[in-house]
Amino acid sequence: MAIRSLRSTLLWMLIPAVVVVAALSWWISRIELEDQVSAAFDRALAGALQSIAVNVSTESGGLAMEQPFYMLEFLEHATDSPVYFRVASEDGLSEIGYTQLPLPAFRLPENAQPVFYDAEYFGEPLRMAAMALGPSRLSAPLGSRIIIQVGETTEGREAFMHRVAMQWLRKDAAILLLFVLLISVGTILALRPLRETSENVLKRSSGNLLPIDESTLPREVRPLVEAINVHMERNATKAASQRQFLDDTSHQLRTPLSVLMMQVEYARTLAVTDEMKEVLAAIEQRLSNTIQLTNQMLALGRVHDAADQLRAGESLQTVDLCAIARDVVAELLGAARRKRQDFGLEVPDFPVNVQGIGWLIHQALSNMVENAIKYSPTQAHITVSVSLIGGEAVLQVDDDGPGMSEKDISLAGRRFRRGDAGKRVHSAGLGLAIVQTIADINHARLELESGDSRPGLVVRMVFPMS
């Protein structure tokens, strides 16, 4: 049978077991109580027999008794039940008391030992005690033994047993309730580390393959967690090998591509016909795009490596967004001027510091600006700005290019995906994917906004101020 919930399984196994054990214990206790109460009440009847026996006289040749009524009244008060007695000769010729009290179905022993039995008297259940006095116990011999009987109704002892049993039942019910509560709380507390571990794993990013901390987990669960950690370590090793292959490939491609670019540029200076110049220009454009793709793939690999290092314990540092914005604008100013674009910078006079990794934020802003320059037309306006809004630091690139549709904005950040504008310009679809990854690493939020009232796109990274 498949176990779908450890907590439910434990509770359904333990609580019914405790209830059954408690019920069995109470049933056994009830039987023992009946035996003990019966023995106590029977001893009272036996005492009444002995008291009557010492007051029986046969000196007159007949049967006489000085009846100790105070003793019978005391017995009635003690047992809270009516008491009956009978003293008679075994041959039935002499008789004192309640004459129709039933005798036992067997002959009474000769040693004057009391015998107990159950009977009925006018339809009323009785608990009887009887004994026989032989000639040696009589003051004057008679023709037969003397039979002494004392009986009481069972209402008193049954009521007493019921009261005591109900007291035990209430006590056992309270103890049972306490046990159920302790089992429930104990099960929940015992399984809490599993729930906390599952919540921590769910909160992890998709690329976080660090081992799960097993120090707080129960000993029985640790083998499973160890196996999961081994599996994650294998996947981490595989992912690292793939990224290393990507990095090596990118590095190996950059050198021959650069050489080819230099050779194509040199060949264009030697071209004499328009057809040759057109072909060489197309080759140069293709090589430029390939170099850009290689650089982006290399940047993506470096970003993933940085994410792994951060998850492994590398802490964030204090970074000035204004300084990064100035550096990126200075680096890409030439590219914007070649397209005769209005490229501006708006930063406050004071530093805007956030917690992050500086070179990654620099890479992200470079991708944002390069996209704006690439997709915006000639003489477009591009503005890089840094601001503080509502306790958050905003690093923003605003352009008046073609913008993006709502569908493209919702799918932005996926690798190798290009929007409608990107399909008209050569692009690998890695720029915003790199920006999204860097934003996640630096605990920032990537926002894209394309307004209906004006053309263009606003791309911003929003950092929490700590």
Domain identity same for 243 and 299: yes
| Low-confidence residues of the chain: pLDDT under 50 | 1, 312-313, 413, 415-428
* Residue 168 located in a structural domain: no
Tell me the CATH number at 377.
3.30.565.10
Please check whether residues 323 and 229 belong to one and the same domain. no
Q: What is the pLDDT of residue 171?
A: 87
Task: Taking the CA atoms of 87, 92, 98 and 103 in sequence, report the sign of the dihedral they define.
Answer: positive
Residue 1 lies in a domain: no
Asked if 147 and 54 sit in the same domain, the reply is yes
Residue 63 lies in a domain: yes
**If we measure between CA atoms, which residue out of 180, 179, 183 comes closest to residue 191?**
183
Q: Which domain-ending residue is among 162, 185, 215?
A: 162
Residue 192 lies in a domain: no
How big is the CA angle at 104 (ends 98 and 110), to the nearest 5 degrees?
Answer: 100
Could you tell me if 305 and 326 lie in one domain?
no
The structural domain count of the chain equals 3
Which of 101, 132, 162 is at the close of a domain?
162
Q: Based on the fold, state whether residues 309 and 330 are members of the same structural domain.
A: no
pTM score of the predicted model: 0.45
Predicted confidence at residue 425, as pLDDT, reads 47
Kindly tell me the burial class for residue 13, based on how many C-beta atoms sit within 10 Å of its own C-beta (0-12, 13-18, 19 or more).
exposed
Q: Give residue 39's domain range.
A: 6-162
Same domain, 10 and 155: yes
Domain end among 283, 314, 345: 314
Cβ-contact 442, 363 below 8 angstroms: no
- Looking at the fold, whether 156 and 232 belong to one and the same domain comes out as no
The answer to whether position 404 is within a domain reads yes
Residue 84 inside a domain? The answer is yes
Tell me which residue of 259, 201, 264, 255 sits closest to 228, measured CA to CA.
201
Helix (H, G, I), strand (E, B) or coil at 215: coil
Is there a single domain that holds both residue 306 and residue 377?
no
Distances (CA, A) of 457 to 203, 398, 436: 31, 6, 16
Within-domain flag for 187: no
Are both 148 and 212 inside the same structural domain?
no
Hey, what are 193's tokens? 């580390």
> Residues 328, 296: one domain?
no
Asked if residue 324 and residue 250 are part of one domain, the reply reads no
| Confidence at residue 394, expressed as pLDDT on a 0 to 100 scale | 93
Q: Are 331 and 229 members of one domain?
A: no
Report the pLDDT value the prediction gives residue 353, as an integer from 0 to 100: 92
Calculate Rg over the CA atoms of the chain. 51
* The three-state (H, E, C) secondary structure of 15-64, written as one string: HHHHHHHHHHHHHHHHHHHHHHHHHHHHHHHHHHHHHHHCCEECCCCCCE
Per the domain annotation, does 305 fall within a domain? yes
Picking from 130, 146, 150, 132, the residue whose alpha carbon sits closest to that of residue 75 is 150
The answer to whether 37 touches 160, Cβ cutoff 8 Å, is: yes
